[in-house]
Amino acid sequence: MNDKIDFVIIWVDGNDTDWQKERAKYKSNFANDNNIHRFRDWDNLQYWFRGVEKFSPWVNNIYFVTWGHIPSWLNQDHPKLKIVKHEEFIPKEYLPTFSAHPIELNLHRIEGLSNNFVYFNDDMFLVDYVKEEMFFNENLPCDSAIMNVHCYNMDEMFILAPFRNIGVINKHFRMKEVLKKHRTKWFNVKYGINVLRNIYLLPCPRFPGLLQQHLPTSFTKEVFNILWREEYEILHETCKNKFRHMLDVNQWLMKAWQNMSGQFYPRKYNVGKSIAAHNIEIACNYISKQKGKMLCLNDVDMSEEKFVMSRDLIKKSFDTILPEKSQFEN
């Protein structure tokens, strides 16, 4: 039996002129962090709420984290909805921020948030019925502990986060000891063929990296408190950056710490899928045919014409499974 489970979703309205003016006061470290595809509106947030209401009615509360803007259609009086602005939980020294990293690394500070929570980006959706046990089992976050080798790509300006994360992990954990102590959690049949990754990488002297899914992540607040206590400086430096920086760590560090400490419950890997939005046929088919439980629609650089077409097709696909307004909509 699990304790209460909350959902947390962070959202930004890139069309908000006040937000644009505030953001313009600061300079990004990298050009692609100012790319429009990081902030443009796909007009599909309503389907996130519809999916939560229909496919996970057991959720306790939903914490909607925002710079300050709120969708005009959102029913702010819904008893499960808690609207949280950045200044209500992020320390003042880190504000304003236009990077997801400081927001993510401080989620545990949200007042009233349950110890067990699931974190969503606003491009992550539920597309079929999910049980509590998909996210927490025996009050342990559900996850797949699968090793991976990170291959640097010069086109990805922010790819250093996985390296920084695993560097912190290897500072605190010895790979051989972790795999021996939590053998059944790392070499688990639920991972399918991916368990071979852990076998093949056994000769490594330390953790080479982790295979990360761009999907909703289960966390406990304790792991955030531990990391802020053990690695304050690296979290502090990340949170000071107004925009994403190559030397940032991110919330996957907390996820990895849960894996290393054995504070997780093994879950099969193929519970959802991350699909680049330009693969529009694959994405629409995944949604309308409910090929999995969860989906992440990764926005990518594309022409305005392609974006509009993709946005409209995605909405039509969501309408096939979630045609009716939720109680979160006015």
pLDDT tens column, 156-172:
555 688 899 999 999 99
Lowest average pLDDT, out of 134-143, 255-264, 276-285, 298-307, goes to 298-307
Question: Which residues contact residue 27 at a Cβ distance below 8 angstroms, ignoring those fewer than 6 apart?
Answer: none
pLDDT for residue 218 is more than 50: yes
Provide the H-helix boundaries in the chain: 17-24, 45-55, 100-105, 160-172, 175-181, 183-186, 195-200, 221-230, 232-240, 252-260, 280-288, 304-321
Residue 193 domain boundaries: 5-274+289-298
State what percent of residues in the chain have pLDDT above 90: 81
Residue 328 is assigned to a structural domain of this protein: no
pLDDT band at 30 (very low <50, low <70, confident <90, very high): low
Q: Which residue has the higher pLDDT, 28 or 87?
A: 87
pLDDT bracket for residue 250 (50, 70, 90): very high
In a domain, 263, yes or no: yes
Q: Between the CA of residue 134 and those of 72, 107, 245, what are the distances in Å?
A: 32, 21, 33
For residue 39, pLDDT beyond 70 = no
Any alpha helices (H) in 231-295, and if so which ranges? 232-240, 252-260, 280-288
Domain count for the chain: 1
282 within domain boundaries? no
Q: Report the C-alpha gap between 261 and 258 in whole angstroms.
A: 5
pLDDT of residue 316: 97
Predicted confidence band of residue 225 (pLDDT cuts 50, 70, 90): very high
Residue 315 belongs to a domain: no
- What CATH code is carried by the domain that includes residue 106? 3.90.550
Say if CB 113 and CB 89 are below 8 A apart: no
